[in-house]
Amino acid sequence: MRKLVVGSRRSQLALTQSKQFIEKLKAIDPTLDIEIKEIVTKGDQIVDRQLSKVGGKGLFVKEIQNELFNKNIDFAIHSLKDVPSVLPEGLVIGCIPDREIPLDAYIAKNHTPLEDLASGSIIGTSSLRRGAQILAQYPHLKIKWIRGNIDTRLRKLKEEDYDAIILAAAGLKRMGWSDDGVTAYLDDRLVLPAIGQGALGIECRADDDALLALLKKVHNPDVAACVTAERTFLKEMDGSCQVPIAGHARITSNDSILFKGLIMSTDGKQRFEYEAEGKDPVALGLKVSEQLKAQGAETIIQALNESH
């Protein structure tokens, strides 16, 4: 196998994820020579504004995809929740490895439980999805925008006027954070995760047969089926960063896929959700999206997309 160059965002989490994935490949073939090329994306440069106001998810992948097209890198390791549901022609997700815990982690000052927070308490999150679901259950709380890596957000919780923050649990786990620092992992009945949360997507050129054969050896078909249902739903609902959209699929004991999709208004007052089970992930994603459209969820999506 030739020397491989992998593209990664420069953040500590992205580099950690990349190194962990490279270890998986080297466990299969110890002779592999793999180098990491750090790439600064537009999403990494803009830290003073909400992503939903400056272009959303693609901000973390466009520069990396350009490096793939220019053949400066051979593959890229993305957090799948950052990858738009439609890829540019010529690129594919070559494999989806094992998934980390998909839930959100709630971290509060003094480990105060979410249900015990006083009226007016401030929760930091940069996610419209998290904010809407928290406000739906706890309308007396306030959501305040927060950005930055894990360390930055934890520092802001300590030093600024936040009473709690919510982060993806997968990032904490991959960075080796102890469960002791987490007040609670939020049940997906309270806060349904983001599409693809906890999963990685390994992107490469569609015609790179040798690399695709290698990546196939660390592919997890069950995880791939689940995220395919989720990403089909995302695509069908035209779910952008302006829309509080959530979805989580899991494999059931009888080997079918159980998938729940959710669309909400940003204030948490309007909620459209549906859960279905099936064997075909694409058909399942389509079914859930059709049900939400029938309920009227498109009115929220159109209004939010038009307002930006």
* pLDDT one-digit tens code per residue, 177-220: 888 899 999 999 999 999 999 999 999 999 999 999 999 999 99
pLDDT at 132 over 90: yes
Query: Tokens 């395919």, residue?
Result: 228
Active site residue 151: no
pLDDT at position 298 over 80: yes
Residue 42, pLDDT score: 57
Find out whether 116 and 108 touch, Cβ atoms under 8 Å.
no
pLDDT at position 50 is: 52
pLDDT above 90: percentage of residues in the chain: 77
β-sheet bridge partners, residue 263: 245, 272
What would the mean pLDDT of 30-38 be, rounded to a whole number? 95
Please report the domains of the chain, with CATH numbers, ordered by start residue: 4-97+198-219 (3.40.190.10), 104-186 (3.40.190.10), 232-307 (3.30.160.40)
Among the listed residues 33, 44, 48, 82, the single catalytic one is 82
Amino acid sitting at position 235 = K
CA distance 1 to 230: 34
Dist CA 237 CA 263 (whole Å): 9
Looking at the chain, the whole-number percentage of residues with pLDDT higher than 70 is 91
For range 233-245, the mean pLDDT? 80
Q: Which of 14, 76, 85 lies closest to 43 in space, CA to CA?
A: 14
> Alpha helix locations (H) across 166-280?
169-174, 209-215, 221-236
Label residue 307 by pLDDT band (50, 70, 90): low
Per-residue pLDDT, 57? 52
What pLDDT was estimated at residue 242?
A: 72
For the stretch 59-100, pLDDT in tens is 668 889 999 999 999 999 999 988 888 899 999 999 999 999
What pTM value is reported for the model? 0.90
